[in-house]
Structure 1
Amino acid sequence: MSANMSRGSRRRKHAVSQLNIMVVGFSSLGKTSFIRMLYNTLCVREYSKEKTELPASLFQSSETAQDAAASSTQELYSFTLDVEEEGEKISLTLVDSPGFVRDNELRLDVQVTEALRYIESQFDHTLAEETKVKRNPKAQDSQIHACLYFIDNTNNGLTDKDIRILKRLTARVNVIPVVAKADLLTTTQLANLKQAIKNDLKEHSIPVFDFPVDDELMDPEVEEVVANAQSFIPFSLIAPEDADLSDPTTGEKIRGRQYAWGIIDCLNPKHCDFVELRNVLLSSHRKLFKDITLEVFYEQYRTERLMARKASKMITKEQKKKLLEDLSEI
């Protein structure tokens, strides 16, 4: 019995969990900067077998308007990292997307459709694997488990465009709303904006991820952490600037932004919600994101596809029947 337990422990030790995160939103809201910051806080396993070619955007500054224009994401791309989080191995795929345009309704709809097609194409990979006579036991899970939607902090809540986009996205993926560039708001302004966004989400029945708590299965301490995440929606984010900054009290190097009145530490929970969001994505809710993606979003998509195929075949049969009837009358 002990030998079996030992083998099971070894399997769990070497098991790798897959997690795929996508970022979307209007242009110049810091989507790529978020990916860069997340990457800089990861414990990347350098001994992984496959070497990943990292995108140049991870190492580019965007502090000036010229830098931002040069480093803006022009087309959707993804890259995968082997990371370790709290002793668990994770194959983490990050997907960046071009910023949505603000002044062209037709182009905006096309961009949202392209983002949705990418999400659905990952479902198609799973569906194709399921229909094989002999499935690949090493098939990768490429489904998008969480999608961060960046919200412009200059608006008083959600715009009509935000609402239209979110209604489309939430039908296919776990959406987590985030307030971009929160350092441009006072504490009161940020609190008011968060409440306005919550009110808009409720008023328009937009089902963003609501961080459910399983009272029966969760440890009380974990349950408290998980429940606390709900209070952060939408999460506030601040991207660090490309500069060497040190904490004035400890002298330790920090990732943040310096102003005339002081320094913002992007990893300080008192300054923004990055640490909480990172924990939600990589630790406390990782399995839940994956379960909901597979059991809700994928199953819904799978059902729609299978019904569409059946309907297509039925239409074809009816057309063939009508054609034969027409020919018999000639």
Structure 2
Amino acid sequence: MTPRSRRRKHAISQLNLMVVGFKSLGKTSFIRMLFDTLRIRREDNIQLPASLFQTAEKPGDAEAASTKELYSFTLDVEEENEKISLTLVDCPGFIKDNELRLDVQVTEALRYIEAQFDLTLAEETKVKRNPKALDSQIHACLYFIDNANNGLTDKDIRILKRLTARVNVIPVVAKADLLTTSQLANLKKTINRDLKFHQIPVFEFAEAEEDTDIDQELEDGEEQEQTASSFQSMIPFSLIAPEDAIITDPNTSERIRGRQFPWGIIDCLNPKHCDFVVLRNVLLTSHRKLFKDRTLESFYEQYRTERLLARKASKMITKEQKKKLLEDLSEI
């Protein structure tokens, strides 16, 4: 075992993920499936929200199972011999038919993201910093897209432009089992065209995580470039949520996380059926460090600069100007 490997064995990396999107697109189901596939190191201290286990497989259960308010929980997991403190944040589904409520919901999600930046900023301003301070910044945000639409809607575009200013956004197509292979390919093509046309800077897989020695990086450079290219071609990732019913493989009699239809079985962990396994690997392994680096170096630094400039500007305003500004704001 190399010295670097020994350091990684004892180090604990933090990763914070958020899921957002309109109602009934399977956001909580994704978190539930991700939870089911994790190797949890300590299970005795886990306090899971009850809403995580409420499902809507039966007609009329959708409203009861929907997420009512933003919640988060943290798990100590192990992935490829690396210890990860994983925080998952689930947001209530956005409402389509109420523009005012929609804007409020998006603002609430953004305020949560910015609140984590504020914690980092507060720690930086301390005379004596805490060397064990937790990194609570949101490193990646999955945005669920309704497969019933032909590409991005005006609401999707407005939401994505706001989110991509604060966090690494990864678009995903929800409930991909409702589409044929041809329909899914066309939808992905249309979504990518819309993202480019409206200049929405979602996360780009331009490079892989630097997680090997220099000599190894030189040997694997071409392979890493091909991997990044293949990841980029898969955006938006397609997801399928498994149903609660016990489904067994007719060949091996093993339980399958998937959905059963009269014509066959969909295995959500089969890369040929959906992109869950690939996306899971991207989040927890191959690009985890890159998500964190970009969050700190780009999104946090931008927010930090804005806050410091705002503080400086507020100090330059006289008492009379502040009073006049507050009076004007109260009239809006």
Aligned to 1:275: 277
* Corresponding residue for residue 171 of structure 1: 165
Partner of 1:325: none
The whole-number CA distance in structure 2 between the counterparts of 1:137 and 1:191 is: 47
Within 5 A, what are the aligned runs for 1:64-83?
Answer: 64-83=58-77
Contact 1:215 1:223 in 2 (8 A): no
Q: Is the 8 A contact 2:246 2:255 kept in 1?
A: yes
Report the counterpart of residue 248 of structure 2 in structure 1.
246
The alpha carbon displacement at 1:212 in A equals 1.2
AA aligned opposite 1:257? R
AA matched with 2:271 = P
Alignment of 1:149-188 (within 5 A): 149-188=143-182
- Is 2:243–2:258's contact at 8 Å kept on the other side of the alignment? yes
Structure 1 moving runs of 4+ over 4 Å: 214-218, 317-320
CA shift for structure 1 position 250: 2.3
CA apart distance, 1:64: 1.9
TM-superposed deviation, 1:246 = 1.2
* Ranges in structure 1 where 5+ consecutive residues have no aligned partner: 321-330
What's the counterpart of residue 56 of structure 2? 62
What does residue 100 of structure 2 align with? Answer: 106
* Partner SS state of residue 176, structure 1: strand
Work out the CA distance in 1 between the residues paired with 2:34 and 2:46: 16
Letter in 1 for 2:204: D
In structure 2, distance between residues paired with 1:9 and 1:213: 22
Question: Equivalences for 1:160-239 in 2 at 5 Å?
Answer: 160-213=154-207, 218=217, 219-220=220-221, 221-239=223-241
Task: Output the amino acid matched with 1:260.
Answer: P
Per-residue deviation, residues 221-270 of structure 1 (Å, max 9, x unmatched): 34433331111100000000001111122222110000010000000001
Distance apart, 1:318 and its partner CA: 8.0
Aligned mate of 1:43, from 32, 36, 39: 39
Indicate if the aligned counterparts of 1:179 and 1:235 stay in contact, CA closer than 8 A. yes
| Structure 1 SS opposite 2:316 | helix
Q: Which runs of 5+ in 2 are unaligned?
A: 323-332
Please tell me whether residue 264 in structure 1 is matched to residue 266 in structure 2.
Answer: yes
Deviations along 1:38-67, one digit per CA (max 9) or x if unpaired, are 0000000027xx712011133222212333
Q: Secondary structure at the match of 2:234?
A: coil
Identity %: 78
The answer to whether the 8 A contact 2:209-2:290 is kept is: no
The aligned length equals 315
**Pairing 1:30–2:26 present:** yes
Per-residue CA deviations over 1:257-299 (Å, capped at 9, x if unaligned) read: 0001000000000100000100000011000000000000000
- Which residue number corresponds to residue 295 of structure 1? 297
> Which whole-Å deviations, capped at 9, do the CAs of 1:183-232 have from their partners, x for residues lacking one?
00111110010000000000000000011126997433344333311111
Q: Distance in 1 between matches of 2:227 and 2:254?
A: 28
Q: Deviations over 1:132-180 (max 9, x none)?
A: 0000111000000000000000000000000000000000000000000
Deviations, residues 17-38 of structure 1 (Å, cap 9, x unaligned): 0000000000000000000000
Separation of aligned partners in 2, 1:171 and 1:61:
33
Q: Which amino acid aligns with 1:97?
A: C
Change beyond 3 A, Cα 1:180–1:9? closer
Q: CA deviation at 1:123?
A: 0.2
Q: Which residue of 2 aligns with 1:138?
A: 132
- Which amino acid letter does the alignment assign opposite residue 48 of structure 2? L
Change in 2 beyond 3 A, CA 1:78/1:315: same
Which residue identity is paired with 1:290? K
Q: Contact 1:36–1:57 at 8 Å: present in 2 too? A: no
SS in 2 for 1:295: helix
Q: Which amino acid aligns with 2:114?
A: E
RMSD: 2.1
